[in-house]
Structure 1
Amino acid sequence: MFIRQAAPSELKDIMDIYDRARDYMRTSGNMAQWVNGYPGEGLVLEDIRNGFSHICMDGGRIAAVFSLVTGEDPTYKEIYDGRWLNENPYGTVHRIAVAIHQKGVAAFCLDWCLQKCGNVRVDTHEDNLPMRGLLTKCGFTYCGVIYLPDGSPRFAYQKTEG
């Protein structure tokens, strides 16, 4: 597997992956995350244009998609019921979704992000048990709760190199 930046020509494939991820969330009991068509085409295109959107390739097919944004994330400025591991510069993983449900795809993506940034933060909905399990399995530490601009709470995790 390898990871590269996504291209605008891949928008349809990326949106199909996000559609399937929303369906998977619903079948696994996560009814409240990624609702109302989130993430939408506009946001995904913005991620692609900004160089944030990445694709994990397995052979000739897309195995996963995610965004990696470096620099301070405004929603991570305040954390409740805990604290970040450190205040060093970090990358934030957003909108990770797998297209190929085989062992290790999402972990490969998270590891790649850690190699790129050395300090990674990520958040997920309380009901996203598969993602919470993955983060724990991959060595991320639960740090507390952050709130999205709309007031929705998210469980926040962080991992550093070393």
Structure 2
Amino acid sequence: MKSASQPNQFRFHNLGVGDIQLGRKPGHIPGMLPFNLYTGKHHFTVAPHASLYHVFNRPIKCMIEQKDNGIAMSHLFAGVNENGFINRIFIYPDQPGFQLATRLSHLYGEPADQNNWVTDSDTEITLQTSNALLQTVIAFRFLYDMTALKEYEVHVV
């Protein structure tokens, strides 16, 4: 049995991490909380609207490679579409770096361009880094969901 302080361990796959997957309803995933109930919500701005977001509100480690100790994640946000299904996932590692692009390439193959991978499941995984804020975000979306690409955003305040 896991203690309350021990992180949940999830493995990266084509649709997200563990049970947090594109196409699922966040209410069916233990640990997911509506964004408006999240105590840390004042640290973030979300678009298009806060009611379209859920937060994984438990400690989390995500494993990329087979023999991986896991990467501690500080935040995980899931955006939902008008039907309530997850259409965008944003994952913030605790510490930037860890050769994430190389490690993601081991799992998803060569990127389509610098830090974008397209999977056999018609999903896109994007690694975004900002040197100014030392912020790294790993994002998932269905490849053909242009609304998820253009309208769904999470920013640290």
Could you tell me the TM-score, scaled by structure 1's length? Answer: 0.32
Higher helix share: 1
Could you tell me the TM-score, scaled by structure 2's length? Answer: 0.33
Higher strand share: 2
